[in-house]
């Protein structure tokens, strides 16, 4: 047995180790180590939010974390770093309403939201709001530092199932406080020495951000006794450091390395001047570190070593699998000891010597018969099988059939099985009763097994990469090597840090793959404290005691520390010191693995090393990646934050103003070392001169920085922690102080920049030069560093470098340094450690030249002739400008102009003078308005000011109400450097954009203004009712009757734009002709009447909506339906009320409509045959259904004429809606709804009847009769029974079973016409439209079954498939035969909601239905957020794939979803009542998979450009028409 780790003290016999076994038990209790804090930071945070607001209280910061639909963070947001809670703030968790995670969702986190102390396994809960119409937000009060986990738990699809979402993590930075300092520069920018009052410690305290840490590593064994430490503190303070990193100060082991700790709970007594007791030593250490903080402004951080201890400590026996590794280790040292008296070489002088020794070692190892650890003992195996067979103790073989298999095959099977006897009986059935024979057979199998095992032994032992001792042998190891031989710790190249390489099945020790530390043995914690209570308690007491003394930890060898150990230890440490700062050095090999350690352990900073950069380009990349801060001109703070009012997070307490900022994920904070204490010096790696340039570049990084005294003092070589016995020389800021004076200025300026918020930076590399420009984001004041790197030895010339030009910026020289070495050998000293004789040279001031080019001023910095490699210069730079924008009260028309306007719309409105902005090499913007600028275009704005001019000109020329941006943009163009123009342009644009968007939303209904962002995005997606953008943006193609009235309910009525709805209704009513409203309005100049479907919703939703029926309507055409021009005197010559118009529509349909379109022929429609211009519509008075259309024309939305000559479809209709005299189900139900409404709601405004001619006789039909007739006929004629085995069902309905291809559906039409009867039975997405409009016509169970079928077969990500057949269709006809159209989706959701809540799962639990249907909105929600058109498309290819010919945004696609959301909003109170009733939830509906139809021909649906759709189908347009508002006389 070999000890891998130390785990118990009970067996220790070494006197030197005995002190560790007599620690009082009460000191080693695992629980309760951290002191109890009566009033925790979480308690204080809660009290803050419950207390009244104080005078001068600043707005609360709210950090908004948006989760994915499944309740987890996306990859970028899996780790969130939050700032210190100097004042409590809010972490807001946001989730889209209706997403899966909102279904009875509960947010859980181990942050103590309700007060009390943090416990890793104790979770606070917040129930997610269940309102489908409002944003789902949970506000979490953050009050203290630490590492926290969260997730959302919610109901799954199966009954009773609870789903735990993906975990996310947020780390809160600790609060670090130190004394403030005076400036390191004089008022005239000269560096001040301490004697001159520079950087003097001030009485007041400041909060030090992590980026303000400037840390110096000190090795205590190289310092004088503790009484002399003050001079080291003074030196570090004078050089501008804010924190000291102490290597372990504990009692060291035999090697004398600080990292080989002998007793973790005792300080090394050699540090103290006199003999001292351990308790007194601890107190004295606390005192001196407190003095360092208070008198010198230095925080203290120390290493915590958790995974190993000194090899002269303690042990027990526990890990037998390492026995062969121990024997190999022993054999190697036996071999080494035998070399002296042998013929083998003892001094290596050639490769032959190495080969000779390796061959001899191989023979020596063979003599140890180590293969016996691998192979099976053949005789013993044979005897064991014989014994089992003879005793009839055989376990039967139940694996695969092995009868008749060869010995080799059986050996392969036996490698994974231990049932030897049973296996043999099953394999050799012919000798199953012969025990001797079966045992002999097993012997042959074992021989085969041993072949591979022997080969494995040879492979594991053939080469050893290291001859370092892998085991430490304590006293007693000679007699009991298993107990007193300890596995040394170390590390492995490219190892998985989550795998313990000392546990099975690892062979790392056996194969000598570990790079060992011979003075450290590995600690064995096990999987939990119960595995090793003593060790856990002992190490936890060590960690807690350090946390009480130090401000921070560096986790030594963090990547090899078991995560569960590190987490528990740091949790305990943070209880003792809630604001403990933790940094670590990770060698995991991947940033993803680094992130795992960071978020689990709560590591505040990861060590990064500037010395790893091999050339200037790589160095600049490292600084950009880890030390940039934000890029200069960054727009996130200016453009993404918003000001709101914060509701009390605990339900009580006052509301507070807040600033909301989105969280987009974090990368681990960096601590950038110029050099660490265990890396080679720059003299060895690069050049000595390079140190100065590295010092400058690193300190200009916006991150924590760190150094080592040997770097500042120019030590020529890496010091050996074990062997070095000399002590530091304290040189302060004197002549021989190396980089001391330069570091003072650099660290001082850096501290001031961080505290002043100079968080924006720019890194630029030019040959061997690296420039870093750092500025304040608002004042634009900053500093510029110019560094001449010296990666390789060169002459002392400045080299080639271009002048540094800063546009519209003033610069002043601050200081510069060069370094000159008289020798590259350090002075020899046996007592003190000395650095190279390097002289720091103060460079003379550089005059900055102010110049002008093309009228634009700039400053030019020319690098002086004397600027040798390694030199640095610092300049103060300044440029200032501010920009604001205010928004006056604008109506929705103005706001549409400001926010949107597609290219065609803008050209139409400006007579072609203004079009969408075209960016060279990038293309056109999506919109002319501010929505088009929401992707800031850095490049183009740096080159010129065209974007400013464009924005101003288009708005000034089109509205008088818009705020004047000219002066703001003029200031930016005049005063702002080119590199900052994008930022200030974005500030102005985003400010106006947000104000305009807010102004628009506030003019809409409460449903929208208080709704979630999806509702608001839908409401703003198509603020005009253009048929679609960009294809239908202007002229005759802009305004379609069908599109307007489908869109009117959602975009006008649910949003509260009742006046706009009223104007549209009256405008279209004025154009009534032939009993029809126009399909194409064409600004009422040339309306076209070829549509027979329209809705009727205004009177249901508008306040006092019924009053619109009495509104006068001036009629565009004479009463005899004759065609007159819009400006003919007979136009608008007579007036009707709207009620009379509706009565006329119904009467004309009841009597029958028959006419030929005006201007029939190719000029009207090139795709139509002559007969297609004949319009015939009538009512079948046996059913009440409206019939109409022919194979030559298109009467409903799903009709389209073919356009392909090659396919023979030109001027032919494909859809059944255009054939014969079919009764369209949607039209039938639309009229059924209308006549039913007229007979009930409108009875006071209408004549209650129509007078059709039936069988040659006039008769009177009341609307009630007409409605009842449709009601009685509908199911009989349209429903296809679900059960084909029951002929009675078919008999009750009009069904031709030979034509049925899918049952349980509603026919798309009835009566398609001779030869087309089969098309009645197509499954298309029109029936849900009818269900939403007239649900009373449907039998509820039938309806729900058909909807579930459509859900499975027709529903796509963004719309509904228009046909289920996998059939290629040529151009024109493919428009409605396969593409997934957006607008029917909303009707489907409304219909599903209605019927499922009546007869489906929603009847028992409405939440089931609402959650299920809201899942269908996830893709549209994402699309509208991410698409540059900020809307929903007209149609898509299969499975939501992009279709290039589709309109990118269309009114009715958004409108019908708004309609659905409006209906769910009205159910919120019902939902609350249901939840209060405590009913049990029922099983969710199944989540269906979609069909596999392909629509390869869809790409040709619309050919815009030559504009085949517009020109060929409808003829040329002529002059551009007027808008609807200007062409209709004022009512």
Instruction: For tokens 């075209």, name the residue.
Output: 918
Find the radius of gyration of the CA atoms of the chain: 42
Residue 1417 and residue 98 in contact, taking contact as beta carbons nearer than 8 Å: yes
| Residues belonging to the active site | 556, 559, 678
Q: Outline where DSSP puts E strands in 1204-1304.
A: 1223-1224, 1249-1250, 1253-1254, 1257-1258, 1261-1262
Contact 916/932 with Cβ under 8 angstroms? Answer: yes
Distance CA 1503, CA 1518 (A): 20
How far are the Cα atoms of 929, 931, 989, 1030, 1033 from residue 898, in angstroms, in the given order? 5, 8, 10, 17, 17
Nearest to 700 by CA among 788, 773, 622, 777: 773
CA dihedral 819, 825, 827, 828 (to 10 degrees): 160
Q: Are 460 and 454 a contacting pair, CB within 8 Å?
A: no
Structure-block tokens of residue 717: 């070589």
Q: 643: which residues sit within 8 A by CB, 6+ positions away?
A: 59, 657, 658, 659, 660
- The sheet carrying 1174-1180 orders its strands as 1153-1156, 1174-1180, 1185-1188, 1223-1224, 1309-1310
The reply to whether omega before 505 is within 30° of 0 (cis) is yes
* Closest to 144 measured CA to CA, from 108, 113, 178: 113
* Partner residues linked to 309 by β-bridges: 521
- DSSP string computed for 577-623: -TT-EEEE----SSHHHHHHHHHHHT--EEEEEGGG--SHHHHHHHH
- How does DSSP assign 1468-1517, residue by residue? HHHHHHHHHHTPPP-PPPP-PPP-----GGGGGS--TTTTHHHHHHH---
- Give the CA distances from residue 31 to residues 194, 265, 459, in Å, rounded to whole numbers and listed in that order: 49, 18, 47
Residue spans of alpha helices (H) in 700-808? 709-712, 740-756
Nearest CA among 1150, 1324, 1342 for reference residue 1246: 1150
Closest CA to 857 of 916, 809, 912: 809
Asked if 1277 and 1294 touch (Cβ cutoff 8 Å), the reply is: yes
SS3 label, residue 1023: coil
Estimate to the nearest angstrom the gap between the alpha carbon of 520 and the chain centroid: 42
Residue with tokens 């795998």: 499
Q: Residue 43's Cα: distance from chain center in Å?
A: 31
The two tokens of residue 164 are 């735990």
CA distance 1465 to 131: 8
C-alpha of 444 from chain center: 60
End-to-end CA distance of the chain: 101
């Amino acid at each position: 047995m070999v000890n891998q780790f130390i785990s118990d003290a009970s067996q220790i016999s070494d006197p030197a180790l005995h002190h560790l076994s007599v620690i009082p038990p009460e000191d080693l209790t695992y629980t309760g180590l951290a002191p109890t804090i009566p009033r925790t930071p979480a308690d204080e945070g809660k009290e803050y939010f419950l207390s009244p607001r104080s005078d001068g209280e600043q707005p609360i910061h709210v950090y908004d974390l948006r989760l994915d639909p499944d309740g987890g963070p996306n990859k970028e947001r899996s780790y969130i770093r939050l700032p210190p809670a100097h004042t409590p703030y809010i972490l807001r968790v946001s989730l889209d309403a209706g997403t899966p995670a909102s279904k009875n969702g509960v947010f859980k986190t181990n942050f103590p939201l309700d007060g009390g102390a943090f416990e890793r396994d104790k979770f606070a809960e917040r129930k997610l709001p269940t309102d489908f119409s409002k944003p789902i937000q949970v506000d979490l009060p953050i009050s203290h530092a630490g590492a926290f986990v969260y997730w959302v738990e919610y109901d799954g699809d199966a009954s009773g199932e609870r789903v735990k979402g993906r975990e996310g993590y947020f780390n809160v930075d600790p609060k670090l406080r130190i004394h403030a300092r005076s400036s390191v520069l004089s008022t005239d920018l000269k560096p001040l020495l301490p004697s001159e009052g520079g950087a003097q410690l001030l009485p007041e305290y400041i909060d030090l951000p992590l980026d303000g840490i400037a840390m110096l590593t000190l090795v205590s064994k190289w310092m004088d006794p503790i009484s002399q430490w003050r001079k080291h503190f003074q030196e570090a303070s004078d050089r501008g450091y804010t924190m000291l990193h102490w290597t372990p100060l504990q009692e060291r082991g035999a090697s004398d390395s600080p990292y080989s700790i002998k007793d973790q709970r005792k300080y090394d007594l050699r540090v103290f001047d006199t003999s001292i007791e351990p308790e007194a030593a601890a107190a004295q250490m606390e005192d001196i570190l407190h003095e360092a903080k208070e008198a010198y402004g230095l925080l203290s951080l120390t290493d915590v070593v958790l995974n190993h201890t000194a090899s002269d400590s303690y042990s027990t026996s526990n890990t037998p699998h390492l026995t062969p590794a121990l024997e190999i280790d022993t054999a190697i040292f036996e071999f080494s000891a035998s070399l002296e008296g042998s013929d083998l070489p003892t001094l290596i002088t050639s490769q032959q010597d190495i080969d000779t020794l390796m061959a001899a070692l191989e023979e020596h190892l063979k003599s140890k018969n180590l293969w016996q650890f691998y192979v099976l003992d053949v005789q013993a195996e044979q005897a064991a099988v014989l014994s089992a067979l003879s005793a009839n103790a055989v376990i039967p073989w139940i694996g695969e059939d092995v009868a008749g298999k060869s010995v080799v095959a059986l050996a392969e099977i036996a490698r994974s099985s231990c049932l030897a006897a049973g296996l043999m009986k099953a394999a050799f059935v012919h000798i199953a009763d012969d025990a001797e024979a079966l045992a002999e057979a097993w012997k042959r199998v074992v021989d085969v097994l041993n072949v591979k095992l022997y080969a494995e032994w040879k492979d594991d032992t053939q080469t050893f990469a290291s001859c370092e001792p892998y085991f430490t042998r304590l006293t007693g190891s000679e007699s009991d090597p298993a107990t007193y031989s300890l596995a040394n710790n170390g590390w492995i190249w490219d190892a998985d840090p989550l795998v313990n390489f000392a546990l099975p099945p690892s062979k790392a020790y056996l194969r000598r793959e570990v790079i060992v530390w011979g003075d450290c043995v590995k600690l064995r914690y096990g999987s939990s404290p119960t595995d090793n209570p003593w060790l856990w308690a002992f190490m936890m007491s060590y960690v807690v005691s350090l946390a009480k003394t130090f401000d921070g930890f560096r986790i030594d060898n963090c990547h090899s520390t078991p995560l569960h150990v590190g987490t528990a230890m740091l949790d305990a440490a943070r209880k003792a010191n809630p604001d403990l700062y933790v940094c670590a050095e990770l060698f995991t090999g991947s940033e993803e693995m680094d992130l795992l350690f960071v978020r689990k352990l709560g590591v505040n900073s990861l060590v990064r090393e500037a010395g790893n950069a091999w050339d200037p380009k790589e160095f600049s990349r490292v600084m950009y990646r880890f030390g940039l801060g934000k890029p200069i001109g960054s727009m996130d703070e200016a453009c993404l934050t918003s000001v709101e009012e914060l509701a009390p997070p605990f339900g009580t307490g006052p509301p507070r103003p807040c600033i909301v900022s989105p969280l987009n994920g974090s990368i681990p904070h960096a601590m950038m070392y110029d050099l660490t204490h265990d890396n080679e010096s720059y003299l060895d790696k690069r050049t000595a001169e390079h140190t100065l340039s590295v010092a400058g570049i690193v300190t200009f990084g916006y991150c924590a920085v760190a150094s080592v005294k040997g770097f500042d003092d120019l030590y020529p070589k890496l010091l050996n922690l074990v062997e070095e016995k000399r002590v530091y020389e304290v040189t302060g800021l004197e002549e021989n102080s190396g980089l001391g004076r330069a570091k003072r200025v650099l660290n001082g300026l850096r501290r001031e920049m961080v505290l002043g918020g100079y968080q924006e930076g720019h890194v630029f590399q030019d040959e061997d030069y690296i420039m870093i420009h750092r500025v304040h984001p608002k004042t634009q004041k900053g500093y510029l560093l110019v560094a001449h790197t010296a990666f390789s030895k060169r002459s002392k010339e400045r080299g080639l470098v271009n002048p540094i030009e800063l546009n519209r910026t003033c610069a002043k020289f601050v200081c510069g340094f060069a370094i000159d070495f008289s020798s590259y050998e350090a002075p020899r000293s046996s007592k003190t450690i000395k650095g190279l004789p390097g002289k720091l040279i103060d460079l003379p001031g550089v005059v900055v030249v102010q110049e002008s080019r093309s009228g634009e001023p700039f400053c030019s910095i020319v690098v002086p002739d004397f600027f040798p490699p390694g030199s640095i210069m610092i300049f103060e730079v300044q440029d200032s400008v501010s920009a604001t924008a205010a928004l006056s009260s604008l109506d929705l028309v103005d706001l549409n102009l400001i926010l949107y306007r597609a290219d065609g719309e803008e050209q139409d409105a400006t007579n072609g003078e203004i079009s969408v902005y075209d960016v060279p090499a990038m293309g056109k913007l999506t919109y002319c308005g501010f929505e088009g600028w929401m992707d800031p275009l850095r490049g183009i704005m740096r080159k010129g000011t065209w974007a400013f001019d464009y924005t101003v000109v288009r708005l000034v020329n089109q509205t008088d109400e818009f705020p004047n941006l000219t002066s703001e943009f003029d200031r930016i163009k005049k005063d702002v450097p080119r590199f900052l123009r994008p930022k200030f342009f974005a500030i102005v644009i985003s400010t106006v954009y947000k104000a305009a968007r807010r102004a628009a939303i506030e003019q809409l209904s409460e449903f929208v203004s208080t709704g979630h962002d999806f509702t608001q995005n839908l409401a703003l997606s198509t603020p005009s009712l253009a048929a679609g953008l960009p294809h239908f943006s202007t002229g005759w193609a802009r305004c379609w009757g069908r599109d307007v009235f489908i869109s009117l309910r959602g975009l006008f009525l649910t949003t509260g734009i009742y006046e706009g709805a009223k104007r549209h209704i009256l405008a279209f009513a004025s154009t009534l002709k032939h009993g029809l409203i126009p399909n194409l309005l064409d600004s009422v100049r040339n309306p076209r009447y070829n549509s027979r479907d329209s809705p009727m919703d205004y009177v249901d939703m508008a306040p006092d909506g019924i009053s619109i029926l009495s509104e006068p309507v001036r009629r565009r055409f004479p009463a005899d339906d004759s065609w007159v021009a819009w400006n003919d005197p007979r136009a608008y010559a007579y007036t009707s009320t709207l009620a009379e118009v509706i009565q006329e529509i119904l009467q004309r349909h009841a009597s029958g409509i028959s006419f030929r379109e005006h201007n029939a022929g190719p000029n009207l429609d090139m795709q139509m045959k002559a007969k297609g211009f004949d319009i015939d519509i009538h009512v079948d008075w046996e059913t009440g259904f409206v019939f109409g259309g022919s194979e030559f024309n298109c009467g409903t939305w799903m009709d389209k004429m073919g356009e392909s000559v090659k396919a023979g479809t030109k001027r032919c209709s494909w859809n059944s809606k255009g054939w014969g005299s079919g009764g369209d189900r949607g039209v039938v139900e639309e009229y059924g709804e209308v006549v039913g409404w007229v007979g009930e709601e409108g009875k006071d405004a209408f004549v209650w009847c129509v007078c059709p001619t039936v069988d040659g006789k006039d008769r009177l039909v009341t609307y009630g009769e007409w409605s009842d007739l449709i009601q009685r006929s509908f199911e009989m004629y349209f429903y296809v029974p679900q059960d084909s085995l029951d002929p009675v069902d078919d008999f009750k309905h009009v069904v031709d079973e030979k034509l049925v291809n899918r049952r349980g559906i509603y026919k798309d039409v009835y009566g398609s016409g001779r030869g087309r009867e089969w098309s009645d039975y197509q499954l298309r997405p029109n029936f849900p439209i009818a269900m939403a409009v007239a649900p009373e016509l449907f039998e509820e169970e039938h309806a729900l079954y058909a909807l579930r079928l459509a859900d499975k077969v027709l529903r796509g990500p963004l719309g509904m498939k228009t046909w289920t057949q996998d059939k290629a269709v040529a151009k024109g006809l493919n428009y409605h035969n396969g593409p997934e159209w957006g607008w029917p989706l909303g009707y489907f959701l409304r219909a599903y909601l209605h019927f499922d809540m009546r007869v489906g799962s929603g009847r028992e639990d409405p939440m089931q239905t609402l959650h299920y249907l809201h899942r269908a909105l996830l893709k549209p929600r994402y699309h509208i957020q991410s698409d540059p058109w900020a809307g929903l498309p007209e149609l898509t290819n299969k499975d939501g794939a992009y279709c290039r010919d589709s309109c990118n945004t269309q009114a009715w696609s958004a409108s019908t979803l708004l309609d659905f959301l409006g209906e769910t909003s009205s159910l919120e109170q019902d939902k609350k009542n249901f939840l209060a009733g405590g009913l049990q939830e029922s099983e969710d509906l199944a989540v269906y998979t979609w069909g596999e139809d392909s629509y390869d021909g869809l790409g040709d649906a619309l050919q815009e450009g030559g504009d085949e759709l517009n020109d060929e189908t409808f003829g040329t347009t002529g002059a551009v028409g007027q808008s609807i508002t200007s062409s209709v006389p004022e009512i």
